[in-house]
Amino acid sequence: MIIIAVPAIDSDRNYIIDSATGSPYNNELVYFKDGTTLYRRTLAHPDAAGNTLKTSCPEALSSPSCLSDNKLVENLDSMVFTLYDQDDATTTDPLLARSVKIDLGLEKKSFGNPLTLDNTIRVTLRNQF
């Protein structure tokens, strides 16, 4: 699982600012694996008035006010996160991480043979807003 904080924005794509801190409210995007399916759950900040994102829920708990989590991909075989520090060395300490490599492996049987797809992306983490 990986959790990404993203600034809350309104319909005009402006940041929604917390007047107590002067910083934008943050929503959270939670990417997680359930069995062989990759989902994204959205956790919208409850105090960000006009937020374009809405909180999502597990399918069994979904309702008109809380839509189902977004199913991103099926047949997910593996999901591996590798953290890198400022010197581009791997680290296990998330507080030292400056970038994350995400490796996804997919596998599906077709006519009795495995079809595989491996995908990798590396993202740099932002400083605090």
Residues 10 and 26 in one domain: yes
The pLDDT of residue 30:
96
| pLDDT > 50? residue 106 | yes
Residues 70 and 104 in one domain: no
CB atoms within 10 A of CB 64: 5
List pLDDT tens digits, range 9-61: 999 999 999 999 999 999 999 999 999 999 999 999 999 999 999 999 999 99
The pTM score is 0.84
In degrees, rounded to 5, the angle at the alpha carbon of residue 72 between the alpha carbons of residues 42 and 99 is: 70
109, 88 Cβ separation under 8 angstroms:
no
Residues 51 and 96 in one domain: no
* Domain range for 33: 1-74
128 pLDDT tier (thresholds 50, 70, 90): low
Residues 63 and 4 in one domain: yes
Cβ neighbours of residue 81 closer than 8 Å, sequence gap 6 or more: 2, 100, 101, 102, 103
Residues 28 and 84 in one domain: no
- In the listed set 55, 74, 93, which residue is the last one of a domain according to the structure? 74
Residues 30 and 80 in one domain: no
The pLDDT of residue 125:
82
Relative to beta strand 70-73, strand 26-34 is unpaired
